[in-house]
């Protein structure tokens, strides 16, 4: 598996653990039936390579990944509770992903760079609040200690 | 996110200002009220700085929507005049440099669009405006 795929999987696992025992489900893609979800959306990456002898080695990957928070409103009118819950979920994601994380031979950081909050109409004309954020970060090789 | 705190703060300021009037301050949309001031969509961009501890400067914009509905057949003047009155109150409140504990921010109403609309039973005026600014710890 490529390191970026591992990162995506790892991010999903970290968030799933964080939202265990809450009504929020963490999904890859999108779940139309969920009342509260964090959907892991599109991912874009750029790679930086270095060549050691004949072998190109990928040293650094800069990536951005879209996270979509959706909370359905209990009634179709004032959506304040849905808005508040969506912001709460975002705060939890922010604190969860901010630290640098370790993967096998790699480390990555992740920061929320930008976002939008919007209202939408779901299935059966139910209303909801959606926050889309872009998480940006770098995935780097961890330096291996050289034996003396 | 500072934008969330600013939304909550703006809601409290506006709710206090419009208490005792017909204008309801809400999130989202509620057509059952004749006059609403809605805290609508918002956007933010974070510039991260790492000096000592994590710090962030957040540029934000929050769309606000004023909607005044009158009975159909009575013309647009009353809803339009009332919508602009609400806009004026909003503009004055924002200019008064509101302050939020723990987060400093500055914001201004940066643009506005006024539209008329009609439904089966009503005639209305809607003003959409954007509150834009920056915030930091």
Residues of B in contact with A127 (CB under 8 A): 28-29
Interface-testing mutation among A82, A88, A115, with chain B (most B C-beta atoms within 10 A): A115
pLDDT of residue B34: 94
pLDDT of residue B53: 63
Contacts of B39 (CB under 8 A, 6+ apart): A83, B7, B10, B11, B25, B26, B27, B62, B64
Q: Is the CB of residue B26 less than 8 Å away from at least one CB of chain A?
A: yes
pLDDT of residue A93: 95
pLDDT of residue B51: 66
Whole-angstrom distance, CA of residue A54 vs CA of residue A103 = 26
| Cβ distance of B1 and A91 shorter than 8 Å | yes
Structure tokens, A9? 């999987």
Which B positions 38-57 lie with beta carbon below 8 A of chain A? Answer: 39-46, 48, 54
B74, B123 contact by CB (below 8 A): yes
pLDDT tens readout for residues B8-17? 999 999 999 9
Query: pTM of the full predicted structure?
Result: 0.87
Whole-angstrom distance, CA of residue B28 vs CA of residue B41 = 8
pLDDT of residue B97: 67
pLDDT of residue A147: 60
Mind telling me how many Å the CA of B85 is from chain A's nearest CA? Answer: 23
| Cβ distance of A116 and B42 shorter than 8 Å | yes
pLDDT of residue A67: 97
With CA atoms as reference, the chain B residue closest to A110 would be: B48
Structure tokens, A91? 């705060």
pLDDT of residue A143: 61
- pLDDT tens for chain B, 137 residues long, are 899 999 999 999 999 999 999 999 999 998 889 999 999 999 999 998 876 666 789 999 999 999 999 988 888 999 999 999 999 999 988 887 666 677 778 888 988 999 999 988 899 999 999 999 998 87
pLDDT of residue A148: 59
Long-range contacts from A143-147, C-beta under 8 angstroms, 24+ separation? A144/A105
The pLDDT averaged over each successive group of 10 residues in chain A (148 residues) is: 82 93 93 92 88 78 95 82 96 89 85 96 88 94 62
Beta-carbon pairs below 8 A across chains A and B: 64
pLDDT of residue A146: 56
Whole-angstrom distance, CA of residue A116 vs CA of residue A62 = 22
Mind telling me how many Å the CA of B57 is from chain A's nearest CA? Answer: 11
pLDDT of residue A92: 95
Look at phi and psi of residue A127 and say left if phi exceeds 0, alpha if psi is from -120 to 50, else beta.
beta
């Amino acid at each position: 598996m490529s390191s970026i795929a591992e990162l995506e999987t790892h991010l999903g696992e970290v968030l799933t653990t964080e939202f265990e025992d809450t009504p929020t489900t963490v999904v890859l893609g999108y779940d139309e039936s969920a009342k509260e979800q964090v959907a892991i959306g599109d991912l874009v990456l750029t790679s930086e390579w270095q060549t050691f002898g004949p072998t190109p080695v990928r040293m650094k990957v800069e990536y951005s990944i879209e996270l979509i928070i959706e909370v359905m409103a209990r009634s179709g009118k004032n959506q304040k509770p849905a808005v508040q819950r969506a912001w709460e979920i975002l705060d939890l994601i922010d604190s969860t992903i901010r630290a640098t994380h370790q993967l096998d031979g790699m480390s990555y950081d992740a920061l929320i760079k930008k976002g939008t909050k919007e209202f939408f109409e779901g299935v059966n004309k139910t209303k909801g609040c959606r926050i889309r954020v872009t998480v940006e970060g770098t995935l780097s090789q961890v330096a291996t200690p050289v034996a003396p | 996110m500072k934008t969330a705190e600013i939304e909550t703060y703006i809601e409290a300021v506006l709710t206090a200002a419009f208490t005792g009037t017909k204008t309801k301050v809400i999130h989202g949309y509620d057509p059952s009220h004749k006059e609403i001031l809605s805290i609508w969509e918002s956007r933010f961009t974070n510039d991260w700085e790492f000096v000592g501890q994590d710090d962030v400067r957040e540029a934000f914009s929050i769309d606000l929507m004023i909607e005044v509905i009158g009975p159909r057949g009575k013309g647009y003047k009353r809803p339009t005049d009332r919508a602009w009155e609400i806009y004026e109150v909003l503009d004055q409140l924002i200019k008064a440099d509101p302050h939020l504990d723990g987060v400093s921010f500055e914001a201004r109403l940066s643009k506005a669009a006024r539209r008329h609309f009609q439904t089966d039973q009503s005639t209305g005026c809607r003003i959409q405006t954007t509150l834009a600014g920056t915030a930091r710890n």
